[in-house]
A and B are shown apart, each in its own frame.
Chain A
Amino acid sequence: MSIKESPEQTAPPGEAGTVAVRFKRRRRRFDYLPYLLLLPTTLFLAVFFAYPMIQSLVTAMQDSQGGFTFDNFNTMFKDVNFSDALRNTILFIVLMVPLQVVLALIMALVINTGLKGVGFFLYIWTVPLAISDLAAGIVWLAIFTERGYINSLLTQLGLIKLPISFLSYENPTWLFTAVIMAELWRATSIVMVILVAGLQVIPKAYSEAAEIFGASPWQRLRYVILPMLKPSLQVALILRTILAFQTFAVVIALAGRALPVLAGEAYNWYNGYRNVGVAAAYALLILVLSIVNTAVYLRLLQTKTAQMA
């Protein structure tokens, strides 16, 4: 009976809450196995990720003959919809992300109380994870449209005589509200799941100790739980904002072209005007904004934790 290798067990501290026991590899020969296992993903991500990023730069700088040009960026910046798209996208993020994080936090805290029936609520609150943004847009279209359920309800209650046109281009505020509502409904679960996981890791001892010392629930939340939740909050914020920069199908479903957003404009230039260059310029813009935004989040939340320490 030959034994190919004898694993030595080591138990380094794994992620909090799990003891990750791993094989410590013999150092006799260069250990290729883990790297071999990682190779497919690394290759795949390099090809279909790093390469397109470069390609987007190249395409954005190309004109139809393949020569170098800034024209695409010019066209993009001067486009009549550009400033609206930029403003709408940023406004959307600024309004929606904080709302969503607060709502997700409330939901996560409710789940964390461990009351009876909390599992059932979690079950329901994670349902929107299955829903695509296009479907969410259609669902809320059914609610907000002129012949939709809100107007129907208001008419039945006798509060209005004629249906309100929530989703017309003359009503940009309501258009915006509808989009925010739909995204709030759909995407809060994404943030909530991250926060629930993060809350689970916080040892109850801290909160209980604070309680013994007379801290009110609000104080406990603010000074004990939230600081310890910072890593999860950071991850949730970054993820959600990146996704929000790409908001597309919800807007199209609810507002058509009445509400320009960056991703929508990229799509229009690609599909409608058949101009890959300008579309790539928009793509590049979204990419750059996302990176800057992530850096800002990292910086912002990093400094605070240092202050807390």
Chain B
Amino acid sequence: MSVVEKVEEEKKELPSDPNAAKQSAFLNSRSMARFGLYLLAITLSVWIIVPLYLITVASFSTRIAITSRWPKDWFPNPVSTETLEFFLNSQGVLPSVVNSLIVGIITLVLSLVIGAPAGYAIARFIFTGRDSYKLLILTTRAFPIVILSIPLAVTFLNFGLYDTLFAVAIVHTALALPQTILVTSSIFVSVPVELEEAALTLGCHRMQAFTKIVLPMALPGLAAASIFAFVLSWNEVFAATILTVQNRTLPAQILSSLNNSTLPIKYAGGFVLIVPSLIFILIIRRYLLNMWGRVIK
């Protein structure tokens, strides 16, 4: 017999896999577990998406449909921008949207300008106090900063900063700083230090090495960090309501008029509040898990 035929014969004589019978039973329970897992995941996803769908439906329904039609439509009939238009044209709303934008941008710039250097320092240098500093930043996160807007209101009054967008931006920056520092530090860690080194050995100053090498590579991450700060600012309600009277941001405007608002206005307000943040977060979702120093592909 040739070698091949010998092997064939031996193959036939091998005892059948004793686990084979078990395996198909095991596979059954395994695929059942997998099915259960998917079912759970889908249920949770539906739970998250459906309310968003509903507020969208409500915002694109006519006012009559919202207040009078019963039972409610599950899809706007007709699709109408009447409610949204009515909301946006309500007194104080459009200016508050603009205010929110301005505050958001100031927060974005401030938190990046103040926080990114700290992130760089943590990422690149060892120095005494590094661990205590990191601890301090994390502790800051664990403080009810928003409540501090009440004493800050008194301080701002004394300095003539009360009811200014800048004051609100300052509080928002304080809120966003810990997150900005942590995210930027992990961004800078991910830029290989060898490249910076190479630039330095080729005669660049540290600053040049930073702007020519590190910055371009870190830019997407830094953009993400700044968008986080913007979204945080856009969504913030308490401090914005406390610190503003005439120059309200959108959340402050909506909150302070909640008592006088009809349902359509409330729904439209919620919708306008959600949409920009949603769009931004969807753009930068890659960096979401970077917030705690890990990157998920």
Answer whether residue A100 sits at the interface, using C-beta atoms and an 8 A cutoff. Answer: no
Which residues does B use to contact A, with CB under 8 Å? Answer: 34, 37-38, 40-41, 44-45, 47-49, 51-52, 54-55, 58, 66-67, 70-72, 113-115, 117-118, 120-121, 123-127, 129-130, 133, 136-138, 140-155, 170-171, 173-174, 177, 181, 186, 189, 192-194, 196-197, 200-201, 203, 205-206, 231, 234-238, 241-242, 251, 254-255, 258-259, 263, 266-267, 269-270, 273-274, 277-278, 280-282, 285, 288-289, 291-294, 296
How many Å lie between the Cα of A252 and that of B254 in the bound state? 11
Interface string of A6-40 (1 = CB under 8 A from B): 11011010110110111111000001011101101
A246 within 8 A of B: yes
Whether A140 sits at the interface, judged by CB under 8 Å, is yes
Supposing A35-B127, A134-B251 touch, asked if A15 and B143 sit within 8 A by C-beta, the answer is no
Q: Name the CB-closest residue of B to A182.
A: B51
* Stretch of A77-85, A148-156, A168-176 at the chain-chain interface: A148-156
Residues of A contacting B193 in the complex (Cβ-Cβ under 8 angstroms): 9, 21-23
Within the complex, what minimum Cβ distance (angstroms) separates B23 from chain A? 16
Q: Can you give 11 A-B contacts (C-beta < 8 A)?
A: A23-B193, A49-B148, A52-B152, A53-B148, A56-B150, A127-B52, A130-B281, A139-B52, A147-B67, A153-B71, A238-B142
| Contact B114–A44 (Cβ < 8 Å) | yes
Cβ-defined contact, B151 with A59, below 8 A: yes
Within 8 Å by CB of B72, from A40, A139, A152, A282, lies A152
Q: Are the C-beta atoms of A59 and B154 separated by less than 8 Å?
A: yes
Given contacts A129-B281, A139-B270, A270-B153, contact A37 B235 (CB under 8 A): no
Q: How distant is the Cα of A194 from the Cα of B294 in the complex, in angstroms?
A: 10
Contact B197 A55 (CB under 8 A): no
- Other A-B contacts than A132-B237, A239-B141, A246-B146, 14 sampled, CB-CB below 8 A, are A3-B201, A18-B189, A35-B129, A44-B177, A49-B148, A52-B149, A122-B296, A127-B278, A127-B281, A138-B267, A239-B142, A263-B147, A280-B151, A286-B147
Q: Report how far A19 CA is from B146 CA in the complex, Å.
A: 35
Which parts of A197-225 form the interface with B (CB within 8 Å)?
197-198, 200-201
Q: How far is the CA of A275 from the CA of B291 in the complex (A)?
A: 38
Q: Does A283 contact B (CB under 8 A)?
A: yes
The distance in angstroms between the C-alpha atoms of A48 and B48, with both chains bound, is 36
Whether, in the assembled complex, A94 has its beta carbon less than 8 Å from a beta carbon of chain B, the answer is no
B288 touches A126 (CB 8 A): yes
Instruction: Determine the distance from Cα of A98 to Cα of B127 in the docked complex, in whole angstroms.
Output: 39
- Answer whether residue A115 sits at the interface, using C-beta atoms and an 8 A cutoff: yes
Give the docked Cα–Cα distance between A106 and B174 (Å).
Answer: 32
Interface size class of A (residues with CB under 8 A): 35 or more
Most buried by A among B52, B118, B147, B196: B147
Residues from chain B with Cβ under 8 Å of A48 in the complex: 148, 152, 170-171, 173-174
Closest 4 CB pairs between A and B? A138-B270, A132-B235, A55-B151, A56-B151
CA distance A23 to B193 in the complex (A): 8
Residue of A nearest to B188 (CB): A20
A105 within 8 A of B: no
Would A38 and B52 count as touching, CB distance under 8 A? no
* Interface hub of A117, A128, A239, A294 (most chain B Cβ within 10 A): A128
Considering the complex, give the chain B residue whose CB is closest to the CB of A18.
B189
**A130 engages B142 (CB within 8 Å):** no
Q: Could you tell me if B280 and A130 are in contact, using CB atoms closer than 8 angstroms?
A: yes
Contact residues in B for A276 (Cβ distance below 8 Å):
150, 153-154
A110 CA / B44 CA spacing, docked (Å): 11
CB-defined contacts of B201 to chain A, threshold 8 Å = 3, 6
CA distance A53 to B139 in the complex (A): 14
Tell me how far the C-beta of A133 lies from the nearest C-beta in chain B, rounded to whole angstroms: 7
Shortest CB distance B43–A (Å): 11
B37 close to A113 (CB less than 8 A): yes
Question: How far apart are the CA atoms of A56 and B202 in the complex, in Å?
Answer: 54
